[in-house]
Amino acid sequence: MKIAIDIDGTIYETEREMRVEAEIYDIEKLHGKGMIDKSQVWVQNRYDWTDEQNIEFIKRFVEITRRANLLPGAKEVIKKFEQMGIELIIITARGSQEYEDNEQMMQVAKDKLKSDDFHFSKMIFKTPNKLQACLDEKVDFLIDDSPDVCQETINGKVKTIFIHDGEIKGVDKPNQYLYEVGNWGEIYRIIYNYVHNVKQ
């Protein structure tokens, strides 16, 4: 069995940290008038910022990444998957955007995963098309926090666990390949039941 896992917003609370930092930036730079859609995952889609403002803000990403904590239960559950003999890989879009800090963004993620003692058989960065990566890698499940990515992968018949909080919009057209969860305990239940052929 093979599971692909995203990094930001899935293993680490990077996206929540980004949302906090973006609110501060918007208030201080634009007097709090930039918000257009609070339900969006990507900061660039939440605010009506200029390209220059987006570039200025994204320069904070490396530091935000460094301080982002693990999602509760992420490390414990991933370790349980390792003990179950499940192959784990990383599939992330990090590094695919045209930012000058891309190499540093990827290296910080690698260092952070290593320092938290994660052991992935493969780490695939710069992946704008996660569906194709999942098909190429023949994964049994993808775990991700992006509704757009999850919509694409479930449309492509990849079993997908969508982890998110209530603030983020859901998947527009769910189907039988989608599992929605709010925490890593629920992820563990889904995979445990799948491995042990427990009817959901």
Domain of 175, CATH number, reads 3.40.50.1000
Residues 118 and 106 in one domain: yes
Mean pLDDT score, 4-14: 96
Q: Does 149 fall in a domain?
A: yes
- pTM for the model stands at 0.91
What's the pLDDT at 199? 56
Query: Where do we find the tokens 């609070």?
Result: 38
Max avg pLDDT among 53-67, 99-113, 137-151: 137-151
Residues 95 and 33 in one domain: no
What's the pLDDT at 87? 98
Q: What is the CA radius of gyration of the chain?
A: 17
What's the pLDDT at 98? 61
Residues 106 and 8 in one domain: yes
Total domains, the chain: 2
Q: Does 124 fall in a domain?
A: yes
What's the pLDDT at 165? 83
Indicate whether 84 pLDDT > 90.
yes
Residues 37 and 114 in one domain: no
Indicate whether 155 pLDDT > 80.
yes
Q: Does 200 fall in a domain?
A: no
| Helix, coil or strand: residue 57 | helix
Hey, which residues does 122 pair with through a beta bridge? 89
Indicate whether 97 pLDDT > 70.
no
Residues 113 and 143 in one domain: yes
Angle between helices 147-155 and 130-137 (to 10 degrees): 50
Residues 42 and 97 in one domain: no
Picking from 69-83, 106-120, 161-175, which range would have the lowest pLDDT averaged per residue?
161-175
* Rounded Cα distance, 177 and 188, in Å: 17
Q: Does 173 fall in a domain?
A: yes
Based on the number of CB atoms within 10 Å of its own CB, is 180 exposed (0-12), middle (13-18) or buried (19 or more)? middle
Residues 171 and 188 in one domain: yes
**Boundary residue ending a domain (32, 51, 66):** 66
Q: Indicate the DSSP class of residue 45.
A: H
Range of the domain at 103: 2-13+69-195
Mean pLDDT score, 61-65: 88
- Nearest residue to 149 (alpha-carbon basis) of 86, 75, 85, 92: 92
Residues 94 and 167 in one domain: yes
Residues 29 and 117 in one domain: no
Residues 100 and 177 in one domain: yes
Residues 84 and 49 in one domain: no
| Helix, coil or strand: residue 3 | strand
**Boundary residue ending a domain (47, 66, 85):** 66
Q: How many CB atoms lie within 10 A of CB 113?
A: 17
Residues 99 and 7 in one domain: yes
